Structure 1
Amino acid sequence: MATNLTVEKRNTEKRSFLTELRNKGHVPANLYGYGTKSVALSVDEPEFIKAYREVGRNGVLKLKVDGKDYSVMVQEMQVHPLKNAVTHIDFIAIDLNKETEAEVPVVLTGDSVGVKEGGVLQRVHATVNVKALPSDFPEQLEASVEDLNIGDSLYVKDLPTGSKYEILHEEDEVIASVVPPKLQDEETDPETEEADEAGDAPESSESVADDGQEGQEDEKKDE
């Protein structure tokens, strides 16, 4: 069941209105998609956060705009990096009977054997693209990395599958890998070694010849 969220249309004529909006604890937002034109909205931030936590990242919200209901998902949410406050929201109106695409988080569980031996776990994908009906999106996809040794990888084919959703990636695409630790003492660059050897080498015959010629000229001057 979708969670209700009442919003208001907002004024887009004055840029200063956005500052006033945020000072009052509201967030500027936009609604677009199925069955609607783009609409500028104002959302109460505490109410939005409460509703968002109830339905989850890919959950369905029932947005009430001027007495009309829209089934929506959060397409994008911008958060201030320092204040941890929501600064803008994009809502996309959806058809509940039509499949759509969304990003689903990948959660890695367990302690890798390779990491215990000194390896480093590197993540390639924190999320994967999934296709499903709006009500059938998994909240997250969990996969264990316990059996990964150094040099092993976790692939898309290792993620849990379901009959109600489709992962839109190739099966052999890497999700995470356990790589060897970096060497503490890196080997000297061969080019650097060559440069050092060149610095210790005797002068070239050309330079020696030039020095000899200059010496002869100095002797003639002394005479």
Structure 2
Amino acid sequence: MSVVLKVEERAVRPRSIRKKLRAEGRVPSAVHGHNVENIPFSVDALELEKAIRENGLNAVYTLDLGGKKISTLLHDYQLDTFTKEWIHAEFLAVDMTQETEVEAELTLVGTPKGVKAGGVLEQNLYSVIVSATPDKLPERVEVDIEGLEIGDSLVIGDIPKQADFAIVTDAEEQVCAVTEMVAKVEDEETGVAAEPEVINEKPAE
């Protein structure tokens, strides 16, 4: 999907102009990349927040700069640690016919059979790197885990191939596993949890 953002070219000096722009509700930004060296601009903070909220971080943002249209991806951004106000945004101009790589959220869907049988689901990976043309980049990758039994695990290579994009994260990377519930065994006399026995443990000197 493509979202149009109306932006205004800005001066780089003096540095105080950035503070002035933020006070006016605008985000100091810049774009570089495909056929674009570096253009500083500003964008309305509320419009940018609304666009990201409705379309996600991996959408194609078409910058309308005085009538000139530039297809971009949101490459990086910075928010104030305390107020969460926008400090800066950086956009990457892209060729819509060329594949690019971005990070996408990994979402587990369903309740594994093993969890219903008393097991515990352990998720080890929360995002993946995907490759696609800019208009096909997903915001998230959903993985069905309902069939996992106790003792089963799922790695990147187990995720079904997608028509619009490819997952380029290492195929052996573990996504999740369903393990047995480990119960603490208490000493009958003291009521204190007993230490597990360690096979071939080196005796204390």
Place the TM-score, normalised by the shorter chain, in its bin.
Answer: 0.7 to 0.9
**1:1-223 alignment to 2 at 5 Å?**
2-116=2-116, 119-180=119-180, 184=184, 185=193, 187=195, 194=204
The answer to whether the 8 Å contact 2:28/2:41 transfers is yes
Structure 2 gaps, min length 5: 185-192
Alignment size in residue pairs: 195
More displaced, 73-82 or 177-186? 177-186
SS in 1 for 2:57: coil
Structure 1 gaps, min length 5: 196-223
Distance (Å, rounded) in 1 between the aligned partners of 2:175 and 2:149: 15
The answer to whether the 8 Å contact 1:2/1:61 transfers is yes
More displaced, 162-171 or 28-37? 162-171
Structure 1 pair 15–50 and aligned structure 2 pair: CA distance change class (3 A): same
SS in 1 for 2:138: coil
The answer to whether the 8 Å contact 2:2/2:60 transfers is yes
Q: Which has the higher helix share?
A: 1
Q: Which has the higher strand share?
A: 2
Deviation at 1:182?
A: 6.2
The AA in structure 2 aligned to 1:29 is: S
More displaced, 4-13 or 144-153? 144-153
TM (norm. structure 2) is 0.78
Deviation at 1:174?
A: 1.1
Structure 1 pair 120–89 and aligned structure 2 pair: CA distance change class (3 A): farther
TM (norm. structure 1) is 0.73
The match for 2:189 is none
The answer to whether the 8 Å contact 1:8/1:41 transfers is yes
The AA in structure 1 aligned to 2:140 is: Q
The match for 1:206 is none
Distance (Å, rounded) in 1 between the aligned partners of 2:10 and 2:197: 61
Residue deviations 1:151-186 (CA, integer Å, cap 9, x gap): 322221332422332211333321122345566546
The answer to whether the 8 Å contact 2:2/2:135 transfers is no
The AA in structure 1 aligned to 2:195 is: E
More displaced, 97-106 or 79-88? 79-88
Distance (Å, rounded) in 1 between the aligned partners of 2:88 and 2:115: 39
